[in-house]
Amino acid sequence: MAVSSSNCHPTERCSLSRLAPLEAVLFDIDGTLCDSDPLHYLAFREMLLEIGYNGGIPIDEEFFVKNIAGKHNPDICRAILPDWAMEKALKFIDDKEAMFRRLATEQVKPIDGLHKLCKWIKDHGLKRAAVTNAPRENAELMISILGLSDFFDVVIIGSECERAKPFPEPYLKGLEALKASPNRSFVFEDSASGIKAGVAAGMPVVGLPTRNPEHVLNEAGAAFLIKDYHDPKLWSVLEELDSEAVGTTA
């Protein structure tokens, strides 16, 4: 049975109090900072129609979530264009990314409550990283559109690591760049791939079911789910972290 976003994951506690005093917060970008997956879906649907993919039948959102969302571009190539040479497939993906950036410039909006959370993080002097499988050009565009260019201390790109998500290397690289401990850090993610990466890097992951099914995020190991950054459950957890931090310094 799917676990509602109002409940904890059955094998985890909602509390993150063991992380106090908190050092760092790490974020995915697509679907986590902004609801950009519909634009990725539109770009892929249109580009695949142009090459007559699936007999000219447009891909649906279920196909997108299963084969594309949250995945590293070379893995997407292998999943949806297995008969193509990798160089040709990656060129197709590059063209799709260019279409996405054109769409994103006018249409990307932050997840509700994002700037409230970012203010809390800044006010607490926490380190922060963006960690994504998106190309750097996409990542930096998203961050700029959202007005967060000065917020992140570092932006980690999956393709610039030895292995991208779902492997832990991007998050481990983020921790290393921030000089932060996984025992004092946590992650926000919206995909199973990203949640698995964060958990494998030794951190609890707060999941946002922006476009992916809740049960998929829970099965990937999310500590708990929130509907957005206004979710009272998130703020209850942050208040608890504050209280624990005061206790550790008293």
pLDDT for 86-103, tens place per residue? 999 999 999 999 999 999
pLDDT tens, residue by residue, 35-57? 999 999 999 999 999 999 999 99
Q: Does residue 2 sit within a domain?
A: no
- How far apart are alpha carbons 31 and 40 in whole angstroms? 10
Looking at the 3D structure of the chain, how many domains does it have? Answer: 2
Q: Does residue 131 sit within a domain?
A: yes
Does position 80 have pLDDT exceeding 50, yes or no? yes
- The question of whether 228 is a catalytic residue gets the answer no
pLDDT at residue 14, as a whole number:
67
Does position 127 have pLDDT exceeding 50, yes or no? yes
Note whether 66 and 41 are same-domain residues. Answer: yes
DSSP state of 161: S
Buried/exposed code over 97-112 (b: 16+ C-beta within 10 A; e: otherwise): bebbbebbeeebebbe
Q: Which domain covers residue 195, as residue numbers?
A: 17-35+109-249
- How far apart are alpha carbons 106 and 132 in whole angstroms? 21
Note whether 91 and 120 are same-domain residues. Answer: no
pLDDT at residue 103, as a whole number:
94
Task: Read off the pLDDT of each residue in 219-233 and give the average, rounded to a whole number.
Answer: 97
pTM assigned to the model: 0.87
Task: Read off the pLDDT of each residue in 163-171 and give the average, rounded to a whole number.
Answer: 97
- The question of whether 123 is a catalytic residue gets the answer no
Residue 27's CATH number: 3.40.50.1000
Identified catalytic residue from 30, 35, 37, 231: 30
